[in-house]
Amino acid sequence: MGVLDVNIPEHITMDEASSIRFDSNADQARREAEKLALYLWENYIEPYDHEQIFFIGIGNAFHGVVKLLTEKGL
C-alpha cells in the first residue's frame, strides 16, 4: 500500500525569471490543477497495479480530479 499526498498551494509568487506562476485567476489555477493531476496519473499511479485508488480534491484540485476521472473513464 502506498500513499501519494499532493498539496497544491492556492497562490505561488515567484520572481520574473521563473516560468511557474499561479495567481488568483481561477481559470488558470484550474488548468494547472488539471495538468498536475494528469501528470501524477501518468507518472506515479497508472504505471503500477493498484487494487484501490482514492482521490480527494478541494477547490481547484477538485476540478483536476474530476477532469482526470472523466478523461480516463475511471
Q: Which amino acid is at 33?
A: A
Q: Which residues contact 74 (CB under 8 A, 6 or more apart)?
A: 53, 68
Q: What's the pTM value of the predicted model, to 2 decimals?
A: 0.69
- For residue 29 the three cell numbers come to 489555477
Give which of 20, 26, 25 is closest to 60, Cα–Cα: 26
Give which of 3, 20, 10 is closest to 61, Cα–Cα: 10
Tens of pLDDT, residue by residue, the chain (74 residues):
678 888 776 655 555 665 555 555 677 778 888 888 888 889 988 888 878 888 888 887 888 889 989 998 87
